[in-house]
Amino acid sequence: MNNPTNENSKNNLIIYQKYLELVYYSNDIVRKYPKSENFTLVSEIKSTIYSGLRNLMYAIKSFNKHDKLNYLNEFDINLNLLKVHIRISYKYKYISIQNYQTWSALITDICNMLGGWINSCIKK
């Protein structure tokens, strides 16, 4: 017999693992950026990533539906900001088309999971 709480915990763990994969990939990529971007774009990317991780952890731990939705919405904003940073990185040729596609695919997967999570919270 499936317990809905266990099902949600399993899904939360999957999105958390996928996001950690994004963190690792992002950190590997930004190491290759020009030194001149270390205090600007690189700093902004890292800040956005870790802010997203913080919001994800708060959402996972939150029992209050309203608080959880707020954290999930903040997390969604972080992901959208990260998409913009990646587009800028590609435009200025700091990353290759392959890096851009891989990075975007990771974010898209997480966004799809997040959308499902938000919808399940709204339906409860």
pLDDT at 8: 63
pTM: 0.89
Q: What is the pLDDT of residues 41-58, one digit of tens each?
A: 999 999 999 999 999 999
Q: Are 76 and 112 in contact (CB under 8 A)?
A: no
Q: What is the pLDDT of residues 81-118, one digit of tens each?
A: 999 999 999 999 999 999 999 999 999 999 999 999 99
**CA angle 18-23-26, nearest 5°?**
120
Instruction: Determine the CATH number of domain 38-123.
Output: 1.20.1440.60
Could you tell me the two tokens for 108? 């898209």
Handedness of CA 7, 11, 12, 13 (dihedral sign): positive
pLDDT at 6: 52
Q: What is the pLDDT of residues 62-77, one digit of tens each?
A: 999 999 999 999 999 9
Rounded-to-5 percentages of helix, strand, coil across the chain: 85, 0, 15
